[in-house]
A and B are shown apart, each in its own frame.
Chain A
Amino acid sequence: MEMPAREGVNKMIPQKGMIKVSDSFERIVHWCLAISCLVLIITGLGMMFRSFNFIGIPFGGMTNLKLVHNFVGLFFIPALFFAILVWWREAGKFKFPDDLEWIKVAGGYLWHVDEVPKTGKYNPGQKAFFWAVAFFGTIMVITGLIMWFPLDLPREFVRWMYPLHALGFLVIFAFFFVHLYLGTIGVPGSAQAMFTGYVTRSWAEKQCPLWLEEMEKSGKLEIYGQNTIHVQH
């Protein structure tokens, strides 16, 4: 039975007419970063708060917890590197004054706004998230590595790595959770962009209208079931 692609928003299996917003490389990078970040948050919390020391139990103790934290941190480095590489072009640059207009109305996310300024592939909120991850992610890597081998550097300098690492956690966790919320139930229809890579046309019209127009104009838009040959039964 054929289902029209525009009916629902929860299309976890790409349907005819759905629009490709991310390729498989982007999605792999996304999940490498997301999963390593999540493990780092959980293991890090186990060490940051004594009352969370129990997180060490499934790892076989706090020594192992620290080892897992450190080595997942090593995995986080290339994930962060490629994430910056992949999203730098589309999410790394603010565009004024358009983005300022969007920020003034908070993108319509906080109060009712009759007409939200149109955005490209990523809105200023997402760009801020990109910068938070790129900047504080880098801080986490640098401070983390120094905290791993702290003995041979000037003590006064090393001492400041710890509060910086904590500050990074504060910022990254806040953005991480808001991103999780908006990427799932907050903006329905978003999650599949990172699973299948395809979103509904109506989602794209609302979330990245300028990008959609541009892609259509340039003929680069990839629509599921069109322009491409799909090997289906």
Chain B
Amino acid sequence: MSEKVKLFDLSKCIGCRSCQLACKQWNQLPASQTVNWGTYQNPPDLQYNTWLLMRFQEISDGNGGVKWIFRKDACMHCTDAACVKVCPTGALFHTKYGTVSLDVSKCIGCKECVIACPFDVPRYNAEVNKIAKCDMCFSRIDATLEPACVKACPTDALIFGDKKEIVEYAHARAEELGGDASVYGDQFVGGTHLMFVLPDKVPVYEKLPENPRVPVSVIAWKDWLKPLSLIAAGGVLAGSFLHYIIHGPKDTSGNGDAGKGGGE
């Protein structure tokens, strides 16, 4: 089955938040009371019941004017997914589409994925002791439908399709936009399955890491110390056994006891 990618083209987004709403609706996520904190961005951050958040930002356009930016924030569906790497139960897993899904029944609420994710995506729900995040509508894409957010987007700022085609299109689009425009997502963590076309340089965008990577601590833990601990454990088991049959136990009986070999 071919890998699928969802592309968000910021230059086409009108900030209507249809996607955010569609996500809530399709996934039956409860609403939270919001407050007016001076921006359309609500809730302020991702939550266990908000898997997709439109981030609203105002920046200077360089000519004394203001530019309004809308950026979609959600799970990036990494190929080298730190969350999948650390999850002790396999609750987080890669689907055949390359996306990262969550088997809620297997989640034990350890929060290891929350700490490991380079994009700060998984959110912990204390009430049920589970984490929650976007699964790119696995049930929908597995039924050959597009994700709910893509379906709801009125401007085609969100599109969904086979990885090869989407990546090609993204680069063509960035070129078309010119200037500082770039494609975000295919150059790190093995390639993400949510990608962006960014009209401005990466550091302009809030909470968008410039060079996301699986944390070194996760690599040290999962790729080095885990196998090393197996080798060490096997070493002492085998070593003790070999010691017993080659060197033999220590003779702690009385000196000159009959029937005892010399204490080697």
A binds B: yes
Task: Enumerate chain A residues within 8 angstroms of B240, measured Cβ to Cβ.
Answer: 177-178, 181, 186
Decide: B108 and A187 in contact? CB cutoff 8 A: no
Residue interface mask A181-192, B partner, CB < 8 A = 1 = 100011111100
Which stretch (B6-14, B51-59, B61-69, B112-120) binds chain A?
A: B112-120
Decide: A166 and B215 in contact? CB cutoff 8 A: no
Decide: A9 and B252 in contact? CB cutoff 8 A: yes
Please report the C-alpha to C-alpha distance between residue A162 and residue B116 in the assembled complex, in whole angstroms: 10
Decide: A185 and B229 in contact? CB cutoff 8 A: no
Q: A230 near B: Cβ within 8 Å? A: no
Instruction: State the majority secondary structure of interface residues on A.
Output: helix
Q: B203 near A: Cβ within 8 Å? A: no
Count of residues in B whose CB is under 8 Å from the partner chain: 46
Decide: A166 and B221 in contact? CB cutoff 8 A: yes
Q: A169 near B: Cβ within 8 Å? A: yes
Decide: B217 and A160 in contact? CB cutoff 8 A: yes
Please report the C-alpha to C-alpha distance between residue A162 and residue B255 in the assembled complex, in whole angstroms: 50
Q: A187-B250, A202-B255 are in contact. Are A174 and B220 (CB under 8 A)?
A: no
Decide: A174 and B232 in contact? CB cutoff 8 A: yes
Decide: A162 and B86 in contact? CB cutoff 8 A: yes
Please report the C-alpha to C-alpha distance between residue A9 and residue B250 in the assembled complex, in whole angstroms: 11
Task: Enumerate chain A residues within 8 angstroms of B129, measured Cβ to Cβ.
Answer: 63
Closest B residue to A190 by CB, please name it.
Answer: B252
Q: For the side of the interface on A, what is the size category?
A: 35 or more
Decide: B220 and A163 in contact? CB cutoff 8 A: yes
Q: Which of B115-154 contact A (CB under 8 A)?
A: 115-116, 120, 124, 129
Please report the C-alpha to C-alpha distance between residue A66 and residue B224 in the assembled complex, in whole angstroms: 23
Decide: B109 and A63 in contact? CB cutoff 8 A: yes
Which stretch (A32-40, A44-52, A79-87, A126-134) binds chain B?
A: A44-52
Which stretch (A18-26, A150-158, A219-227) binds chain B?
A: A150-158
From the candidates A9, A53, A159, name the one contacting B115 in the complex (CB within 8 A): A159
Q: A2 near B: Cβ within 8 Å? A: no
From the candidates B120, B221, B252, B264, name the one contacting A202 in the complex (CB within 8 A): B252
Task: Enumerate chain B residues within 8 angstroms of A66, measured Cβ to Cβ.
Answer: 108, 110
Please report the C-alpha to C-alpha distance between residue A7 and residue B110 in the assembled complex, in whole angstroms: 55
Closest B residue to A199 by CB, please name it.
Answer: B252
Closest A residue to B231 by CB, please name it.
Answer: A170
Interface residues of B (CB under 8 A from A): 86, 88-90, 106, 108-112, 114-116, 120, 124, 129, 215, 217-218, 220-221, 224-226, 228-229, 232-233, 235-237, 239-240, 243-244, 247, 249-255, 257, 263-264
Return 26 A-B CB contacts under 8 Å, by A number.
Answer: A6-B257, A7-B257, A61-B108, A62-B106, A63-B129, A66-B108, A109-B247, A109-B250, A111-B247, A158-B115, A159-B116, A159-B218, A160-B217, A162-B112, A163-B225, A169-B229, A170-B228, A170-B232, A174-B232, A177-B233, A185-B249, A187-B252, A188-B250, A189-B253, A200-B252, A206-B252
Q: A6-B253, A6-B254 are in contact. List 5 more A-B contacts (CB 8 A).
A: A62-B108, A162-B86, A170-B228, A170-B233, A201-B254
